[in-house]
Structure 1
Amino acid sequence: MKRAAALKAVGLGLGALAGALTIIWLASGAALSLLPADSVSGLARAQASFPAELETRSYANPGGIVAQAPGATELRLKRFLDRVVYQARGSGADALFDAVTGERLSPLSEDLVRQVATRDYVGPGALETLERIDAAAALPGLPAPLWRARFDDGLDTQLFISPFTGEVVARRNRLTRLHETLRAWHLLGANGRGAFALSLAAIGVLSLALSGAVALGVSAWMGARRRAKPAKK
């Protein structure tokens, strides 16, 4: 009987573990639904931008721009801050050029990146730090290098700006990081970034299977003992 009780306790423990993981899955899903989408994405504190009309004037020869951007497959004329620029795109050719003088602007200076950050951000905070990050390991999920602008607004808002195009490629804050953590738990690591959560998922599934197997084993063992026990006369 002691062995049966021990096996039953193991089965109950495994079932409890599986139940706890189910609660985590449900709770993380409920928490995700409560987070405001605009705040998570950072758009709640981003300046709304609209295409600006270009001036009617002479611009630098596009051929000269392409010659400065080997590998370019696309050339676009657009407004950037207070000037009109050519934006070249291609394999290793992303860059900005002054559309009037043809001067190459990329990689952007710290002053230009600062202007991009302060114009893009709309919120109660001020620019706290601006640093260029070249190590890919420090930018998980983002292309290096990037400039990181951090604002002291209570949410630790961070803008990641390309030094080649001046585009804000990502916005992150405390709610973004909370959302990523909850999502990793809710998806049980299916997005490839929650290895620990994935391990818990495997443990949960295994726990369910083992608890069922233990319950069946205990039932079969006790039934066999009853059948093997000689009947009293």
Structure 2
Amino acid sequence: MKVLRLSTQLHKWIALAVGIQVLFWVAGGLVMTAIPIETVRSEHHVREREAVPIAFDSLRSPGDIARARGLAVAGAELRSTPRGPAWILKPAKGEPVTVSAVTGEAFPPLDAALARRLAQGAYQGEGAPTAAVLLDKAPQETGREGPIWRVDFDDRERTTFYLSPQTGEVVTRRSAVWRFYDFFWRLHIMDLEKGENFNHPLIIIVTFLTFTIVITGFILLWIRLARDWSMWRSRRRAAAG
């Protein structure tokens, strides 16, 4: 009976301590399985771009551009963008540099009207762009750094397209659905600040405590089933006698 009493107390108090987090785990799992990840990523609002052939003869070589800029380049990536072909120069040290592959110079700054037009061209759905704002610092939800254009749409999901200020490309998409999903994801992994770390000590401790609930639950079940079995056999013997 001491084992039963100890197991009952452990099970009760540990369950009380971690029960709310277990509820968040279950709720988060429900949200993540109920909402298709394609909807979370707003993939249904992405207009498929037509392939635009690149006239390679008209492009400047990345080596020439790097020498003109005094850069020691470790690599270069040619990309087709809404503002024309672009070289992404990757220096041996420092951040990548984006330039027009035609002129070798940085693209002219985007204005709000052009950002809104580029976002509208990349969007499909019933919404229309309502605002285009250049942010000096990319919001945390973008997972990026530096300046970025934010263009909001007036659809049901309150979709937001974030655009590169250099190339006008849509670098990431967010919406009310994504933010709802992200909220439960953060609760699920117990990282409310960034929503990235699911190996921190707190979640390990709570998971271990939840494991002890399962173990003590099995102990309680085994003891009670054994007691019920013993009582049932005693009643049968008494009835037979």
Fold shared, TM-score > 0.5 on shorter chain: yes
**Which one scores higher on RCO, CA 8 angstroms, separation ≥ 6?**
1
Listed one character per residue, the Cα deviations across residues 185-205 of structure 1 (whole Å, up to 9, x for unaligned) are 22233995389x986875675
Pair 1:175–1:206, CA change in 2 (3 A): same
The residue correspondences of 1:26-41 to structure 2 (distance < 5 A) are 26-41=26-41
Match for residue 95 of structure 1 among 98, 104, 107: 98
Matching residue of 1:226: none
Matching residue of 1:105: 107
Matching residue of 2:118: 116
Pair 1:11–1:133, CA change in 2 (3 A): same
Q: What secondary structure does 2:121 align onto?
A: helix
Q: What secondary structure does 2:99 align onto?
A: strand
Q: What secondary structure does 2:24 align onto?
A: helix
Q: TM-score, normalised by structure 2?
A: 0.65
Pair 1:16–1:93, CA change in 2 (3 A): closer
What percent identity do the matched residue pairs reach?
Answer: 23
Supply the distance in 1 between the matched residues of 2:10 and 2:158 (Cα, whole angstroms): 46
Q: Which amino acid aligns with 1:187?
A: I
The residue correspondences of 1:16-95 to structure 2 (distance < 5 A) are 16-55=16-55, 58-60=58-60, 65-66=65-66, 67-68=68-69, 70=71, 72-81=73-82, 84-90=84-90, 91-95=94-98
Uncovered stretches (5+) of structure 2, i.e. residues with no partner? 1-7, 217-241
Listed one character per residue, the Cα deviations across residues 109-160 of structure 1 (whole Å, up to 9, x for unaligned) are 4444233211111111111111111135x43532221111111112111111
Supply the distance in 2 between the matched residues of 1:121 and 1:201 (Cα, whole angstroms): 41
Q: TM-score, normalised by structure 1?
A: 0.67
Matching residue of 1:219: none
Cα contact 1:72–1:88 (8 A) shared by 2 = no
The residue correspondences of 1:1-233 to structure 2 (distance < 5 A) are 12-55=12-55, 58-60=58-60, 65-66=65-66, 67-68=68-69, 70=71, 72-81=73-82, 84-90=84-90, 91-97=94-100, 99=102, 101-102=103-104, 104-135=106-137, 138-140=139-141, 141-189=143-191, 193=195, 202=205
CA RMSD of aligned residues (A): 4.1
Aligned residues: 207
Q: What secondary structure does 1:87 align onto?
A: strand
Supply the distance in 2 between the matched residues of 1:24 and 1:56 (Cα, whole angstroms): 54
Pair 1:19–1:59, CA change in 2 (3 A): closer
Supply the distance in 2 between the matched residues of 1:64 and 1:109 (Cα, whole angstroms): 29
Pair 1:62–1:202, CA change in 2 (3 A): closer
Matching residue of 2:226: none
Supply the distance in 1 between the matched residues of 2:55 and 2:210 (Cα, whole angstroms): 68
